[in-house]
Structure 1
Amino acid sequence: MKTIITCFIVLLAFKSTAQTYNVKDYGAVADGKTINTIAIQKAIDDCSSKGGGMVYIPSGEFLSGTISLKNNVDFHLAIGAVLKGSANIKDYKSYEKETYGINYYGLFYTHDAQNVAITGMGKIDGNDKVFFDWGKAKKIDSTTNSYTRQKQNYRKVESGGLGDGPVTPIEPRPRQMVIFSQCKKVNVKDITLANSTFWTLHIADCDGVLIDGIRLWTNLLVPNADGIDVTSSSNVIISNSDIRAGDDAIAIVGYDHHFEIPGFKRNKKDCENVVITNCNLQSNSSAIRIGFLDQNNVRNIQISNINITNSNRGIGIFLRDQGNIENITVSNVYIQTKLNTGDWWGNGEPIHISAIRGNPEAKLGQIKNVNFNNIICEGENGMLIYGTNESIIKDLSFEKITFKITNSKLNGVAGGNIDLRGQSDPEKQIFAHDIPGLYAQKVEGLKIKDFKLEWPLSMPAFFTNAIVVNDFKNLSITDFNGKASPSNTMLKAISLKNGEGFFTDLNSKVVIKNNVK
């Protein structure tokens, strides 16, 4: 009996402290016209100062500029509630960066807070329609085009319309729609995030983050409209979500100077212990991007049970700076990729792994210990593994892979190229190259097992062997099922050049070796 009484007292105490703060009680008006920034911020501040609880957004459309969550606040949007970004850039908090001048935060900027959440079945809307020229496509510069197979016709839209975009931004525009910076114990659950003008949800230098059951839909024509960006954060779970983004759907990167946030003390902090599971993804760039100009390490990434459809690039791992990228497992994934028109990074590769200089000053890090298992792919370009003398890719395995290469109506304007953008050599941004089913160079410890490759009946002449591996050490190819492209039937399925240490269960009719020991 004493135990029951004690529990009842504890429940009463919890009920008395976990209060609900309705923004309407603070003067917020759901008329789609009134700017409610001050009223909403008052509710947040009051909630946090009194020990925490729920800030409640009832049904209706509430316009706002930048607001900041505080400790122990659950920002909850009811069904039918819409928090919409103001059309006036002056309603957002501004900040100045030496490199870029004056910029503006988006709807949420939460810094150095604990036990914070955004929940509910409502919607956060970035109001992208007022910050872009929807009749004008952003073009690829002529210098970049000059090394492609198609030159100035690269990714050109024959009708002169928008094609796949991207549309042209009207600057200044709000930046990250939702930022959590140096926060601990963050939850984002069940919410809909839509129409962002830049990155949608940015997790920066945080620890202990759960993103679950969300719908994140940006306009597929909008550049920089990433879904979720996790930078230099640890212990992050992204699960059970539907993410459709104009730019990268999910990006996992070490912190770098390009995305520094004012008020954010620079730390030497790795991005580590990230789980991505049970999600549907779509992107006009990379569905999952790991790495870029990483000054810190990226490691311990688990990706499983993912559908990637209608995307420009499937899973991309990019090393361009001093941080290492290591310990990555990708399993039980379906990937469907296609060629695009317009100035999007990527060129239809289901899997892209590259290590090439982007920072002209740093000593390059390394990609190592990456495993792909039980992957089904359909794509309009081959898989790419692109190491360099400065950074050899090590200990990479592909096991139980089924890859069906498909013909593309855009081969004439986009096919037969490799896209390594985000690196420092102008001749290696986008350049013409033959396309095997899988191309690898500068690799050590590459293992390919139970790999099945299918071609359509006809392909352009730039599609060649099934597998090409150049400049390797310790290569294993077993249980392979496939042949060269139907456009090059005289080629052997597998071509190897400049290697040491090769094991296979295949015969000489399948493999051609040139300077392989």
Structure 2
Amino acid sequence: MKNMRKKKYRFLLPIALCLALLSFAIPYDQVVNAADINITKTGAIPNDGKLDTNAIQRAIDDVASSGGGIVDIPAGTYDVAVDTDGTALTMKSNVHIRLAEDSVIELRPNDQGIYRMFFLGDVDNVAFSGGTLVGDRSAHEGTDGEWGHGIQIYGHATNVEISRMTFKNFWGDGIEISSRDSNVPDGVKINRITADNNRRQGLSIVAGRNIQVTNSVFKNTNGTPPSAGIDLERDPPYDKRLENVTITNNVLENNEGYGLAFVYVDSHTIHASGNKIRNNKEGGVFLGNANKTTVRDNVISGNGSKIKDDATQNFGSGVFLNYSSENTIAGNDIDQNYRYGIHALNGVNDNVFKENKITNNKSEAIKLYGDANTRIIDNQISGNGNEHTGADHSLTNGSIKLEYIILAIALICLGAGAFTLKTNKRIGYGMIVFSIFMILVSGLLVTGMVDPFSTISR
């Protein structure tokens, strides 16, 4: 009976031996989690000066085909190059690119005006963290284009997170978020990144919804306009969705253009708050054809030094609004900018400037021209330039605008002229002609076509 029992289980011995040998053949980290891959396992070698594009792409593809996981990029420098379509690496859904703190992916010089190191087109559940991405602007081989990006988030990309990364020296933007036809990215979180010395923008948001940008630094953008730290700007025909965007607790500094720009946007769900916007050359915040946005509780200081080089332009202010309506500028500390604290110029209607502290700017605290129904409420104003014009003290609730004063005088003169015709036609006709002239001047002031008092804040 005992011999029969031994024979019954003897066949298990070779199976156990095979399993033991197989365990030595499979790397330990793949046994623990087969979906996580270190790029050195797919052929990448740090610091050897050779291209690692294929090895990194192979790791991304393998992780994605296994259902998702992490692509680990250890310390060192890795070289990648774009293909003929301008793409170096294509992301897949459910993949997390995890760079070590001192790992660098560097782009080989190319001559393409449009490229992206990482392309995130119509993907879902994607993350990047750690390390540095370096572009080719210092050795770029072409002169055309301005769209060479570190990461491009495109089309219906959803649930994208980027954190603790540095983007520097790209021919275009550190990061660009844009649409494919009517498909826009949805659910993008950017946190604790640094965008430094990129040529066009630190971050461009062309289309998208539910986008959060927090605790990050956007600095030293220069090379081609707009050269902003962050630019929210829809492309023609300006109909793509751009909504529910929050820009919070960031530093935007030393950019050649504006620190922050809202251009061709129209949504009450676009907010900038708690940011430090300082020492940007064209100005602090620019609202161009922007409606219903909110700029609240920011520190906006030392902006606009470019006015020293070109005083003919509308550079230099802490906040500049142009053809923009129904915006709220509230609770900001606007200090020591090179021109106005707030400048609202042409087609600027129904804006609210409320509870700002506007101090020590080189020209007037608030400059209005070509506006209607501007509400200026409870601002603290002191120490600004040209105070002898009465600028700081005339900007209170219920202030009467110059054009309306002129119109009232014209109407009085018109009535008086008509009455005088009965007794003295020459004086009567003179008063009527003068009245018509004053009505025309008032109309030009209201529409913003002339500004004969350009040195006086109204």
**TM-score normalised by structure 2 residue count:** 0.70
Is 2:385 aligned against 1:466? no
Query: 2:427 maps to which residue?
Result: none
Question: Tell me, what secondary structure is at the counterpart of 2:232?
Answer: strand
Gaps of 5+ in 2: 1-30, 82-87, 179-183, 222-226, 406-440, 447-458
The aligned counterpart of 1:233 is 208
Deviation at 1:465, TM superposition (A): 5.4
Answering whether residue 370 of structure 2 is matched by residue 396 of structure 1, we say no
2:91 to 52, 56, 69: 69
With 171-180 and 122-131 compared, the bigger mean Cα shift is at 171-180
Aligned positions of 1:181-220 closer than 5 A: 181-182=154-155, 183-204=157-178, 205-218=184-197
Provide closer, same or farther for how the CA distance between residues 395 and 337 of structure 1 changes in structure 2, counting only shifts above 3 A. closer
**Structure 2 CA distance for partners of 1:38 and 1:403, relative to 1, 3 Å:** same
Structure 2 distance, partners of 1:370, 1:34, is: 52
Tell me the alpha carbon deviations over residues 75-129 of structure 1, each in whole angstroms, 9 at most, x when there is no partner. 111021000111234xxxx6xxxxxxxx431211210000111112x11111321
Alignment CA distance shift 1:188-1:477 (3 Å): same
Q: CA deviation at 1:346?
A: 6.2
Is the CA contact (8 Å cut-off) linking 2:192 and 2:214 kept in structure 1? yes
Counterpart position of 1:127: 136
Q: Judging changes above 3 Å, is the alpha-carbon distance between structure 1 residues 304 and 50 closer, same or farther for their aligned structure 2 residues? A: same
The match for 1:177 among 134, 147, 150 is 150
- What SS does the aligned partner of 1:116 have? strand
- Measured against aligned partners, the alpha-carbon deviations of 1:259-302 in whole angstroms (never above 9, x if no partner) come to xxxxxxxx9432111111111111221111001xx3x6344122
Q: How far apart are the structure 1 equivalents of 2:393 and 2:121?
A: 48
Residues 10-21 of structure 1: pairs in structure 2 closer than 5 A: 19-21=35-37
Once residues 212 and 116 of structure 1 are traced to their aligned partners in structure 2, the CA distance between those partners, rounded to angstroms, is: 14
Amino acid at match of 1:180: I
In the alignment, structure 1 segments of 5+ residues that lack a partner are 1-14, 95-102, 133-168, 258-266, 356-365, 407-434, 470-475, 480-493, 501-513
- Residue number among 393, 402, 416 corresponding to 1:497 in the alignment: 402
CA contact (8 A) 1:60 1:80 kept: yes
| 2:234 alignment partner AA | G
Distance 1:37 1:315 in 2: 39
1:465·1:495 contact (CA, 8 Å) conserved in 2?
no
Q: Verify the 8 A CA contact 2:77 2:103 in the aligned structure 1.
A: yes
Q: Which residue of 2 aligns with 1:509?
A: none
Partner of residue 107, structure 1? 117
Letter in 1 for 2:196: W
Say which structure is richer in strand.
1
1:55 shift after superposition: 1.0
Asked if the contact 2:319/2:343 (under 8 Å) is kept, the reply is yes
Alignment of 1:377-396 (within 5 A): 377-382=335-340, 383-388=342-347, 392-396=348-352
Q: Where do residues 406-425 of structure 1 align in structure 2 (5 Å cutoff)?
A: 406=362
The answer as to whether partners of 2:167 and 2:196 remain within 8 angstroms in 1 is yes
Asked which structure has the greater CA Rg, the reply is 2
Q: Is the 8 A contact 1:352 1:385 kept in 2?
A: yes
Contact persistence 2:284–2:304 (CA under 8 A): no
Going from structure 1 to structure 2, the CA distance change for 1:78 and 1:299 (only over 3 Å counts) comes to same
Q: Distance in 1 between the 2:205 and 2:145 partners?
A: 24
For the 8 Å contact 1:396–1:447, the answer to whether it is kept is yes
**CA–CA separation in structure 1 for the residues paired with 2:38 and 2:309:** 45
CA contact (8 A) 2:126 2:161 kept: yes
Conserved 8 A contact 2:381-2:392: no
Quote the residue 1:162 is aligned against: none
263, 274, 284: which one aligns with 1:305: 274
Instruction: Report the CA distance between 1:173 and its aligned residue.
Output: 7.0
Q: Distance between the aligned counterparts of 1:172 and 1:374, measured in 2?
A: 36
Distance in 1 (CA, whole Å) between partners of 2:230 and 2:284 is: 11
The answer as to whether partners of 1:188 and 1:212 remain within 8 angstroms in 2 is yes
After TM superposition, the structure 1 = structure 2 runs for residues 107-506 of structure 1, keeping only pairs within 5 Å, are 107-120=117-130, 122-131=131-140, 170-171=143-144, 175-182=148-155, 183-204=157-178, 205-218=184-197, 222=199, 224=200, 226-246=201-221, 247-256=227-236, 268-282=239-253, 283-291=255-263, 294=264, 297-312=266-281, 313-319=283-289, 325-340=291-306, 347-355=315-323, 367-382=325-340, 383-388=342-347, 392-406=348-362, 436-448=364-376, 449-455=378-384, 466=391, 477-478=396-397, 496-499=401-404
SS in 2 for 1:227: strand
Q: Structure 1 residue 27: deviation in Å?
A: 1.3
Where relative contact order (Cα < 8 A, 6+ residues apart) is larger, the structure is 1
Identity %: 21
User: Is the 2:318–2:334 contact (alpha carbons within 8 Å) kept by the matching residues of 1?
Assistant: no
The answer to whether 1:43 aligns with 2:59 is yes
For these two proteins, the number of residue pairs brought into alignment is: 356
